Chains A and B, each alone.
Chain A
Amino acid sequence: MYATGYHRASSVEEAVKLKGQHDEGRYLSGGMTLIATMKQRLAAPTDLVDLRHIADLHGISVDGRNVRIGAATPHAEVAGSSALRAICPAICDLAGKIGDPHVRHMGTIGGSIANNDPAADYPAAMLGLGATIITDRRWLSADDFFAGLFETALEEGEMVTGVTFEAPEKAGYAKFANPASRYALAGVFVARRADGVRVAVAGAGADGVFRHSGMEEALAASWSPDAVAGAAVDARDMLTDMHANGEYRANLVKVMAKRAVIAAG
């Protein structure tokens, strides 16, 4: 790691101001990817503005079926929230299987979605739930927010402050983990809502997290595990690396979709 300045913000305003003072600075919200990258000297921000200690960014609020999760809420808190589990257990189960206990107590939902690692789990949940991403400037639909591998709609200095969504009728997540990193080789989040079915895929797509319209239509027509069997997943649209080629990932997408529907019940 190169020498780096560390700043602990206590409010969103202070964080934005601090970030504005350092052109080559980065927000830090758990650092589960950023710190590891910096230790390998692959990233070299001059300054880090830590968001984890901003009280306003913490916590989960549930109002009826409406959910809001603060950006600095760690995965373990989402996994352990009984209020959330009562209306949307799928997101609790997803959060409980991110990384290991250390990661789940340091990593945050805001950090995860702002980084948009193609193999991360939360982007699939946000896209599958049709969530809204709240920043210090605006509200963005998940469909508009995620923009490719490690790319989001966030502008320079813009900061995720939370996410909000309405709990779906049913939802489920299934992932197949990379044997080495335990990131998703394929993770599929399915949700049935009054306005339709959403299927979002993490880990597998060559352009990052994506929705699969074929499976959405199939499940809208018939909400059953077997419904996705006929959907086409094109291996050419998949990531290929030494851990899994496109054919294998395409297969995993279908198998995980089926299992996500089973998990959703």
Chain B
Amino acid sequence: MGVEGIGARVTRKEDKRFLTGKGRYTDDMSVPGMKHAFFVRSPHAHARIRSIDVSAAKAMPGVIDVLDGKQLQADGIGNLICGWMIHSKDGSPMKMGAWRPLAHEVVRYVGDAVAIVVADSSAEARDAAEAVVVDYEELPAVTESLVALEAGAPQLHPEAPGNLIFDWQIGDPDATDQAIASAAHVTEIEIHNNRLSPNPMEPRATLGIYDTGDDHYTCYTTSQNPHVARLVMSAFYNVAPENKLRVIAPDVGGGFGSKIYIYPEEIVCLWASRKTGVPVKWVSDRTEAFLTDAHGRDHVSKVKMAFDADHRIIGLKVDTIANLGAYMSLFSSCVPTYLYATLLSGQYAIPAIHANVRTVYTNTVPVDAYRGAGRPEATYLLERTMETAARELGLSPAELRRKNFIRSFPHQTPVIMNYDAGDYEASLDAAMEAVDWKGFSARRAEAETRGKKRGIGMSCYIEACGLAPSAAVGSLGAGVGLWESAEVRVNAVGTIEVLTGSHSHGQGHETTFAQVVADRLGVSIDSVNIVHGDTDKVQMGMGTYGSRSGAVGMSAVVKALDKVEAKAKKIAAHLMEADESDIVIENGELKVAGTDKTVPWFQVALAAYTAHNLPSGMEPGLKETAFYDPANFTFPAGCYIAEVEIDPETGKTEIIQFVAADDFGNIINPLIVEGQVHGGLAQGIGQALLEDVKYDRETGQLLTASYMDYAMPRADDLPFFKLSHQNTPCPGNPLGVKGCGEAGAIGSPPALMNAITDAIGDNSLTMPATPMKVWQALQTAH
């Protein structure tokens, strides 16, 4: 692997910039004449707009202009859309209500944008926003999905009667019902998956610049996928044709999914820049982020799992209601369907599965993909059910899982997915060994002497990553393909630029992508620069989410490297008068195998560009582009075990141990992989113990709109993690990688909840297991 190649624990190249405050984020961008925007937002969860009076605001100091939704619509700017078509089981298409970038008829959640104020300073814009008079006629609001489906509930969109967006199913209902009817045992459980706010460190921001000279727009934005942003803004929102719109996502401080989507603000700032003739910057504050960044999760499910007399699962029936908020966000429809129900087989051979999913409008901020996106919901449901079943059947949780593990590959599940490789027992064994499962009963007894309650719980997760085979997702309703692109540009002196459609916002691509190049060509990672995030520099790409950058983005780099290597070898063979098939690359040199003839890498590059002595007919230059479309998803899997100790006097949970045994396939950089797992675990533990978005049921006001009330995990909430890897290389891509970005958030919540419910003996506990809820459960139990 070499000291910098694939598998090396290289520290991140980009960290010098980040740790010394030299990162360049959207809010760091400043252009001549730039002005500042503030959005007037709805204070009501649901209201009709009678009128908007901006006259007083326009007269405020420093104000350039105040613009509203009627003007936006008059200029032909389109509504926001959901880019993944789902059909209900009756064949009807999903019921998409209009999401106007600036509402001028009805507002549907607290924070819905109504007008934009552009002023000399952000403080003046904010002052003037308070002077915008919006006359609202308040309407009844509904925030919970179950209530929204009830007869007589407030109705959000005329397009969606009963607030139902779609009623979709997957799997075989009859076979599943028959399995349940014939079962020796059926475990039934209701599962709640709590609503979360993503909270990247950098809030969203955008800078819209309209150039009157060229009739051209530039959009700096906090995006995980700038090319998709350009495509969508151009094709659906009529902001500008693609060739007149440049989107730049510079350094981005975390996304976790929330920066995949196109939001109203970037569209409106671009339009406002044209209307006002000045560049317009908007930066979200933290409360605005809580109010307007897409939330995650928010499922309620009923589950039936059927077992035969030998404790083998023979059927799984799931009925899920997913809250999508007030509008359909860009990928909202695929999260509770194809990213969720297709994973309901987990690591288990289940002959019959049927899942029904209803998605619902409510007066809350839109819900879309958040780290894991559907797969945490599936894993939590399945692993809480497995744990419950093990308790009901009197089996150890490991025994029930071992009995049902898939053991031969490829494996076709009843819910689309075809698992390519895995060794689930290897991760289970490693995790149980690392946690000292056998010694748990002694540790529990010791804790009991101190008045503490110990519990242990496991979770065996699988996820589908490497999104995704384009034809497959197209057939399932996706509006885009999910391939990735790369260009490898060898400079005349042998240094290299890699232009990738992947986007790094914390993942460390500048290091890991360089390692792949270094490994192949024997050059140092310092001689390789990764270029991303600018539609003017980089060819079309699909961005970063769904743990896809390794499996798909790096595979595109490998394909481009194949072409570069082939051409370099031809040149080297020509220079050394050898046969091309005899050329090998070692330590930065091209050699004739079995001889002492070599030519350094930089000389090959120079030869390609001087073109004085190239093989006959060869084009000058050394630069290749490749597009890689994966043939299948990848399937990272693993086993997580949590051991907790509960203080029955306060209900507080302390995590004594947390073990993560993962199969990510081949690993490019273990240091970065461990960091990804740590971060994912922190978010999963946050979901299980701390985080909970709460709206007032009557008024629809967001109650958790700051860190005073929304509990984010902090370092002292987390234990030192014990990590291990049991890698089965992915057969589906050239590097054998599977993806590691989401596993921690997917696998950890059920492990913790299984441990806590084990400790307190109450299986009805819901996430987050706050001290008060645990204490209350203990009062009821005793």
Whether a CB of chain B sits under 8 angstroms from the CB of A64 is no
Chain B's nearest CB lies how many Å from the CB of A43? 15
Q: In the complex, which of the residues A41, A179, A181, A244 has the most CB atoms of chain B within 10 Å of its own CB atom?
A: A179
**Which residues of A lie under 8 Å from residue B771 when comparing CB positions?**
176, 179
A42 to chain B, nearest CB (A): 11
Query: Which residues 158-200 of A have a CB within 8 angstroms of B?
Result: 176, 179-181, 183
Residues B692-723 near A (CB distance < 8 A) = 694, 703-704, 707-712
Q: Is B423 an interface residue (CB 8 A)?
A: no
Q: Is the CB of A40 within 8 A of B287?
A: yes
Residue of A nearest to B649 (CB): A255
| A181 in contact with B690 (CB, 8 Å) | no
Q: Which of B127, B652, B711, B772 contacts A180 (CB 8 A)?
A: B711
Residues of chain A with a CB closer than 8 A to B770's CB = 179, 243
Shortest CB distance A102–B (Å) = 13
* Partner among B123, B127, B694 whose Cβ is within 8 Å of the Cβ of A242: B694
Tell me, yes or no, whether B419 is within 8 Å of chain A by CB.
no
Q: Which of A20-28, A131-139, A245-253 contacts B (4 or more CB under 8 A)?
A: A245-253
A245 to B773, CA, bound (A): 10
Let me know if A2 is at the binding interface, CB within 8 A: yes
A221 at the interface (CB under 8 A from B): no
Judged by a CB distance under 8 angstroms, whether B92 is at the interface is no
Given known contacts A243-B772, A248-B776, A3 and B123 CB-to-CB distance under 8 angstroms:
yes
B123 touches which one: A1, A181, A248, A255 (CB < 8 A)?
Answer: A1
- Min Cβ gap B455→A in Å is 19
Residues of B within 8 A of A1 (CB): 123
Interface residues of B in 755-782 (CB under 8 A from A): 770-772, 775-776
B703 adjacent to A242 (CB under 8 Å): yes
B71 at the interface (CB under 8 A from A): no
Residues in B neighbouring A248, C-beta threshold 8 A: 651, 772, 775-776
Q: Is B650 an interface residue (CB 8 A)?
A: yes
A176 and B709 in contact, given A40-B287, A242-B694, A251-B775 (Cβ under 8 angstroms): no
Q: Is the CB of B707 within 8 A of A181?
A: yes
Contact check, A176 vs B703: say whether CB atoms are below 8 A apart. no
Contacts of B772 in A (CB 8 A): 243-245, 248
On whether A252 and B709 interact (CB within 8 A), knowing A3-B123, A244-B772, the answer reads: no
Once bound together, how far apart are the Cα atoms of A243 and B703, in whole Å? 11
How far apart sit A233 and B772, CA to CA, in the bound complex (Å)? 17
Task: Verify B776–A180 contact, CB threshold 8 A.
Answer: no
Contact residues, A63-105 vs B (CB, 8 A)? none
Asked whether, in the complex, the Cβ of A180 is within 8 Å of the Cβ of B710, the reply is yes
Which B-chain residue is minimally distant from A1 (CB atoms)? B123
**Hey, which chain A residues are within 8 Å of B704, CB to CB?**
180, 242
Q: Say yes or no: A180-B703 contact (C-beta < 8 A), given A1-B123, A40-B287, A251-B775.
A: no
Q: Name A252's closest neighbour in chain B (CB-CB).
A: B650
A251 CA to B127 CA, complexed, in Å: 45
Given known contacts A179-B770, A179-B771, A248-B775, is B123 in contact with A243 (CB within 8 Å)?
A: no
Tell me, in angstroms, the Cα distance from A180 to B694 when the chains sit together: 13
Residues of B contacting A176 in the complex (Cβ-Cβ under 8 angstroms): 650, 652, 771
* Whole-angstrom CA separation of A248 from B772 in the bound complex: 6
**Closest approach, in angstroms, between the C-beta of A101 and any C-beta of chain B?**
12
The answer on a CB contact under 8 Å between B709 and A181 is yes
A181 (CB) vs chain B CBs: closest residue: B708
Q: How far is the CB of B36 from chain A (nearest CB, A)?
A: 14
**A31 CB to nearest chain B CB (Å):** 16
**From residue 207 to 265 of chain A, which have CB atoms closer than 8 A to chain B?**
242-245, 248, 251-252, 255
B602-654, CB < 8 A from A? 649-652
Measured between C-beta atoms, what is the minimum distance from B581 to chain A in Å? 63
B768: nearest chain-A partner, CB-CB: A179
Nearest-neighbour CB distance to chain B for A261, whole angstroms, equals 14
Question: Which residue in chain A gives the minimum CB-CB distance to B717?
Answer: A179
Also in contact, A255 and B650, with CB within 8 A (given A3-B123, A248-B772): yes
Which chain A residues border B708 with CB–CB below 8 Å? Answer: 180-181, 183
Minimum Cβ distance to chain B for residue A121 (Å): 16
B709: nearest chain-A partner, CB-CB: A180
A251 to B694, CA, bound (A): 24
Q: List residues of chain A with CB within 8 A of the CB of B711.
A: 179-180
**Cross-chain contact B709 with A242 (CB below 8 angstroms):** yes
Q: Which of B707, B770, B771 has the most CB of A within 10 A?
A: B771
Q: How far is the CA of A40 from the CA of B689 in the complex (A)?
A: 28
Q: Which of A1-31 touch B at CB < 8 Å?
A: 1-3
Q: Are the C-beta atoms of A2 and B709 separated by less than 8 Å?
A: no
Which residues of chain B from 702 to 754 have a CB within 8 Å of any chain A CB? 703-704, 707-712
**Cβ–Cβ contact A2 & B703, under 8 A:** no
Q: Which residues of B contact A2 (CB under 8 A)?
A: 123, 127
What residue of chain B has the Cβ atom nearest to residue A40's Cβ? B287
CA–CA, A2 to B130, complex, Å? 11
Complex-state Cα separation, A183 to B710, whole angstroms = 13
CA distance A179 to B652 in the complex (A): 10
Chain B residue numbers with a CB within 8 Å of A40 are: 287
CB distance from A180 to the nearest CB of B (A): 4
Chain A's nearest CB lies how many Å from the CB of B239? 32
Name A98-137 residues within 8 Å CB distance of B: none
Question: How far apart are the CA atoms of A245 and B738 in the complex, in Å?
Answer: 46
Shortest C-beta distance, A201 to chain B (Å), equals 15
Chain A hits for B127, CB < 8 A: 2
B690:A179 contact, CB within 8 angstroms: yes
Inter-chain CA distance A36–B580, complex, in Å, is: 69
Instruction: Return B216 CB to nearest CB of chain A, in Å.
Output: 36
**Are A243 and B709 interface neighbours, CB within 8 A?**
yes
The answer for the CA separation of A41 and B650 in the assembled complex, in Å, is 36
For A2, give the chain B residue with the smallest CB separation.
B127
A41 to B775, CA, bound (A): 37
A255 contacts across to B, CB distance below 8 A: 649-650
User: Chain A: which residue is nearest B776 at the CB level?
Assistant: A248
Across the interface, do A180 and B707 meet the contact criterion of CB distance under 8 Å? yes
Residues from chain B with Cβ under 8 Å of A41 in the complex = 126
Residues of B within 8 A of A183 (CB): 708
In whole Å, how far is A122's beta carbon from the nearest beta carbon of chain B?
19
Question: Whole-angstrom distance between the alpha carbons of A43 and B62 in the complex?
Answer: 23
Measured CA separation A263–B127 after assembly (Å): 50
Q: Which residues of B contact A251 (CB under 8 A)?
A: 649-650, 775
Inter-chain CA distance A183–B706, complex, in Å, is: 14
Question: Which residues does chain A contribute within 8 Å of B694, judged by CB atoms?
Answer: 242
Smallest beta-carbon distance B41→chain A, Å: 13
Give bound CA distance, A251 to B651, whole Å.
11
Q: Which chain A residue has the least Cβ–Cβ distance from B770?
A: A179
Among B689, B711, B712, max chain A CB count under 10 A is at B711
Residue of A nearest to B696 (CB): A242
Residue in A closest to B647 when the chains form the complex, CB atoms:
A255
- Bound Cα distance from A3 to B650, whole angstroms: 44
CA distance A76 to B654 in the complex (A): 27
Contacts of A179 in B (CB 8 A): 689-690, 711, 770-771
* B714 smallest CB distance to A (angstroms): 8
Nearest A residue to B127, CB-CB? A2
A244 and chain B: residue at smallest CB distance: B772
Task: Determine the chain A residues whose CB is within 8 A of the CB of B709 once the complex forms.
Answer: 180-181, 242-243
Binding site for B on A (CB under 8 A): 1-3, 40-41, 176, 179-181, 183, 242-245, 248, 251-252, 255
Pairs across A and B, CB under 8 Å, 24 listed = A2-B123, A2-B127, A176-B650, A176-B771, A179-B689, A179-B711, A180-B690, A180-B704, A180-B707, A180-B708, A180-B709, A180-B711, A181-B707, A183-B708, A242-B703, A243-B770, A243-B772, A245-B772, A248-B772, A248-B776, A251-B649, A251-B650, A251-B775, A255-B650
Residues of B within 8 A of A (CB): 123, 126-127, 287, 649-652, 689-690, 694, 703-704, 707-712, 770-772, 775-776
17 further A-B pairs in the complex, CB-CB below 8 A; given A183-B708, A248-B651 = A1-B123, A2-B123, A2-B127, A40-B287, A41-B126, A176-B652, A179-B711, A179-B771, A180-B707, A180-B708, A180-B710, A242-B703, A242-B709, A243-B709, A243-B772, A251-B775, A255-B650
Lowest 5 CB-CB distances: which A-B pairs, in order? A180-B711, A179-B711, A181-B708, A255-B649, A248-B772
